[in-house]
């Protein structure tokens, strides 16, 4: 049975195409520096936004009209799996990602929940045999159920810590069973509401204990995939412990976890933390910690995670710049952790949204690649720091000098001459590259 009868397989038709159900810029087979766009971009569909979300917001009921609306329980879960593989196929998406509770319903006990999960995981595994789609990552939802009110691994209640451990244990087994490329930890409630009732040190120590146990268990079952922390500063908690990449990195370093973890960086989480997307990507990249990306965008007028499909070409260009400079995403991918707007309620919108995001990142890739090829920023930056390649600057970077010598040197200077940073010129060049690519 077809769930999305109005849509056929989406093909690349080029920038002149007026077919709404065609890619204009994303050509999976097109090679950029010897690799296909498909191999570089590694697009992934987020199960929760595409098959579970119904448009509910704090002020109103769901609006989405879906062909599985009449179903319940395991039947609903099975229909969603069928629909998901139809959508992956039609979009030609190489990856998907899910939380445990997205794919199968929770039972009244943990045992029942796990049994439901087993049924659906077996079904997904079966579908994966005849599909090219792979699991980019899975994760445990430890924020929706009321048991996580005060956190999961950082809950003041040891029973909740134990329950959460059981959930992640099962999640790691599912990752192994489905051949996941990564395993994600997003700590939505790993933080606090107020310090008045919080033992912050114990909570953070416990979070590290939890991660070490996860590492140990993965080793035990032979699951050899990167673990990814997904930083977010707030929402739903007032303060989340893995606030941003730098904060998360300090945590991993303090608790000796850097060998096993990298970051899954989400655009909208970066902006909530008061950073640009490219800042978070850069911070991870220069520390060798860029694992994967939740590709979405926020709204600067709204103070929460709006999870919009990433259509901003400028931001996508700067993001792809970091990703290419990283040598790609390795086992990571660009996961569309994004949802259609509440008013975009029919199933066609699911396709329009993914096409929009896939095309917009393909543009970003092309422009970023050209910027790198032509060394537009590199040659400027190289020149800007050239004082460190000779004389006193070289002594500084080679650790061959000290305060006494530097004072002597400074005393001998007749004046200090700086160069312009040329911000506006560089921005204009990026615009030029963007427009040239679009008009090519």
Q: Which residues are within 8 A (CB) of 133 and not within 5 positions of it... i.e. 6 or more apart? A: 85, 88, 89, 93, 94, 95, 96
99, 269, 275, 279: the active-site residue = 99
Tell me how far, at minimum, the Cβ of 17 lies from Ni ion, in Å.
Answer: 31
DSSP 297: B
Total number of residues shown for the chain: 440
The residue within the footprint of Ni ion, chosen from 278, 305, 308, 322 (CB under 5 A), is 305
- Residue of minimal Cβ distance to ligand XLS: 186
Work out how close the CB of 290 gets to Ni ion at its nearest, in angstroms, rounded to a whole number: 15
Q: What is the DSSP letter of 50?
A: I
Determine whether 102 is an active site residue: yes
- Taking the complex as a whole, how short is the minimal distance between the CB of residue 185 and ligand XLS, in angstroms? 8
Nearest to 117 by CA among 131, 99, 135, 133: 99
- Give the Cα separation of 169 and 304 in Å (integer): 31
Smallest CA-to-CA distance from 22 within 33, 12, 32 is with 12
Q: Give yes or no: 99 in active site.
A: yes
Give the whole-angstrom CA distance, residue 88 versus residue 83. 9
Is 280 among the residues that bind Ni ion (CB under 5 A)? no
Chain CA centroid to CA 205, Å: 25
Helix (H) or strand (E) holding 227: strand 227-229
CB 226 within 8 A of CB 182: yes
CB of 139 to ligand XLS, least distance (A): 5
Beta carbons of 90 and 133 less than 8 angstroms apart: no
Of 244 and 305, CB closest to Ni ion: 305
Q: Which residues pair with 227 in a beta bridge?
A: 183, 261
Please say whether the beta carbons of 293 and 323 come within 8 A: yes
State the nearest-atom distance from the C-beta of 195 to ligand XLS, in Å.
Answer: 23
Which of ligand XLS, Ni ion, none does residue 173 bind (CB under 5 to 8 Å by kind)?
none
Radius of gyration of the chain (CA): 24
Report phi then psi at 173, rounded to 5.
-65, -40
Residue among 157, 310, 283, 177 at smallest CA distance from 229: 283
Q: Which is nearer to Ni ion, 144 or 157 (CB)?
A: 144
Token couple for 178: 């489905």
236 cis-preceded (ω within 30 degrees of 0): yes
Q: Which of 266, 278, 322, 359 binds Ni ion (CB under 5 A)?
A: 266
Using DSSP's 3-state secondary structure scheme, residue 280 falls into helix
Active-site residue, selected from the candidate residues 49, 92, 100, 102: 102
Q: Residue 292: CA atoms inside 13 Å, Cβ hemisphere, count?
A: 32
**Interface with ligand XLS by CB under 6 A: which residues?**
99, 139, 184, 186, 230, 232, 266, 294, 305, 337
Strand partners, 334: 43, 293
Q: Shortest approach of ligand XLS to residue 141 CB, angstroms?
A: 7
Per DSSP, helices labelled H in 152-273 are 158-178, 200-221, 245-254, 267-272
Cβ at position 232, least distance to ligand XLS in Å: 6
337 binds Ni ion (CB under 5 A): yes
Give min distance, CB of 137 to ligand XLS, in A.
9
Q: List Cβ neighbours of 5 (8 Å cut-off, separation of 6 or more).
A: none
Known catalytic residues are: 99, 102
Q: Which residues bind Ni ion (CB under 5 A)?
A: 266, 294, 305, 337
């Amino acid at each position: 049975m077809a769930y999305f009868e109005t849509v056929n397989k989406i093909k690349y038709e080029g920038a002149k195409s007026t077919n709404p159900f065609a890619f204009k810029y994303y050509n999976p087979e097109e090679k950029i520096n010897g690799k296909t766009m498909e191999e570089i971009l590694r697009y992934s569909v987020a199960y929760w936004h595409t098959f579970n979300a119904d448009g509910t917001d704090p002020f109103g009921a769901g609006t989405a009209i879906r062909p599985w609306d009449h179903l319940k329980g395991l039947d609903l879960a099975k229909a969603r799996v069928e629909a998901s593989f139809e959508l992956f196929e039609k979009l030609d998406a190489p990856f998907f990602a899910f939380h445990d509770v997205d794919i199968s319903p929770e039972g009244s006990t943990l045992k029942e929940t796990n049994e439901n999960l087993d049924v659906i995981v077996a079904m997904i595994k079966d579908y994966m045999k005849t599909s090219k789609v792979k699991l980019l990552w899975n994760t445990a939802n430890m924020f929706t159920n009321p048991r996580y009110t005060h956190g999961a691994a950082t809950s003041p209640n040891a029973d909740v810590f134990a329950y959460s451990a059981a959930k992640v244990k099962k999640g790691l087994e599912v990752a192994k069973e489905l051949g996941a490329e990564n395993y994600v930890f997003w700590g939505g409630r790993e933080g606090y509401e107020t310090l008045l009732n919080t033992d912050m040190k114990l909570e953070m120590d416990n979070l590290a204990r939890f991660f070490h146990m996860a590492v140990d268990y993965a080793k035990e079952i032979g699951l050899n995939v990167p673990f990814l922390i997904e930083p977010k500063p707030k929402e739903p908690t007032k303060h989340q412990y893995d606030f941003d990449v730098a904060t998360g990195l300090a945590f991993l370093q303090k608790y000796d976890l850097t060998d096993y973890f990298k970051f899954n960086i989400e655009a909208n989480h970066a902006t909530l933390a008061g950073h640009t997307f490219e800042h978070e990507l850069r911070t991870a990249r220069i520390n060798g910690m860029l694992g994967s990306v939740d590709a979405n965008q926020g709204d600067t007028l709204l103070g929460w995670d709006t999870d919009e499909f990433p259509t901003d070409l400028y931001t996508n260009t700067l993001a792809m710049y970091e990703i290419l400079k990283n040598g790609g995403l390795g086992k990571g991918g660009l996961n569309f952790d994004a949802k259609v707007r509440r008013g975009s309620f029919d199933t066609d919108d699911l396709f329009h949204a993914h096409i929009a995001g896939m095309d917009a990142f393909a543009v970003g890739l092309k422009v970023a690649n050209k910027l790198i090829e032509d060394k537009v920023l590199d040659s400027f930056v190289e020149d800007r720091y050239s004082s460190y390649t000779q004389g006193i600057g070289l002594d500084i970077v080679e650790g061959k000098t000290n305060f006494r010598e530097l004072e002597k040197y400074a005393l001998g200077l007749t004046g200090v001459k700086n160069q312009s940073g040329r911000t506006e010129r560089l921005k204009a060049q990026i615009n030029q590259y963007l427009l040239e690519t679009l008009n090519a």
